[in-house]
Amino acid sequence: MARWEPDAPGRLAVAALDLFEERGYEATTVIQIAERAGLTKSTFFRHFPDKREVLFGGTALSGQLIDEIVDAPADATPLEALALAMDTIGREVFTPDRREFTARRRAVIAANPELREREALKGLRLTAAISDSLKHRGVPELTARAAAELGALAFELAYDRWTAAVGGDDFGAVARKVLSEVRAATELC
């Protein structure tokens, strides 16, 4: 076993992604992931409950998004609060050096039904959390739910566009553009 190195969750995620691409999701074991990362099986389970979760990063992203929505200026509309939150996520999480990993992750998820299901559940939880954070800001329930649905759609589309891009805009800029497109599309309904 190699000497201690930082960022065990990140190393496990990279190892898992590499192995899922090489061998397929079903054929990869937790032990193989841990060994590839230079860690033990018990370290893997200290960070993730199962191999499926290694690509989903726990609740850190949604927690940060929610915190940013709650902390947005009091006069921000629900969608403005969400746009500000996506700007922060873009600067701190979806950085240019993460784009390749994110694109590879998306391809592995798309190739496996179990992972697609997990991604869909994650999206539903994120939408509910956005709605709850907007209600916490005093937004009426129906408005909070509608804004959360629109915001989650914009987030998903922005994530897809940002992941597929080569160079170009940062995530926050892509998200703001998509949010504007989603808002314009609702006016056509």
Tens of pLDDT along 141-164?
999 999 999 999 999 999 889 988
Q: Which CATH architecture has domain 59-187?
A: Orthogonal Bundle (1.10)
Cα four-point dihedral sign 63, 159, 172, 82: negative
Instruction: Grade residue 59 by pLDDT with cuts at 50, 70 and 90.
Output: low
8-54 CATH pick, 3.40.50.1260, 3.20.20.80, 1.10.10.60, 1.10.510.10: 1.10.10.60
Note the pLDDT tens digit of each residue in 1-57: 444 567 899 999 999 999 999 999 999 999 999 999 999 999 999 999 999 999 987
Cβ atoms of residues 80 and 72 within 8 Å? yes
Domains of the chain, by residue range, sit at 8-54, 59-187
Question: Which residue type occupies 119?
Answer: E
Asked if residue 182 has pLDDT above 60, the reply is: yes
Asked if residue 84 has pLDDT above 80, the reply is: yes
How is residue 18 written in tokens? 């590499």
d(CA 11, CA 37) in angstroms, rounded, equals 6
- Reported pTM: 0.83
Note the pLDDT tens digit of each residue in 86-125: 999 888 888 888 888 989 999 999 999 999 999 999 899 9
Residue whose C-alpha is closest to residue 133's, from 67, 56, 60: 67
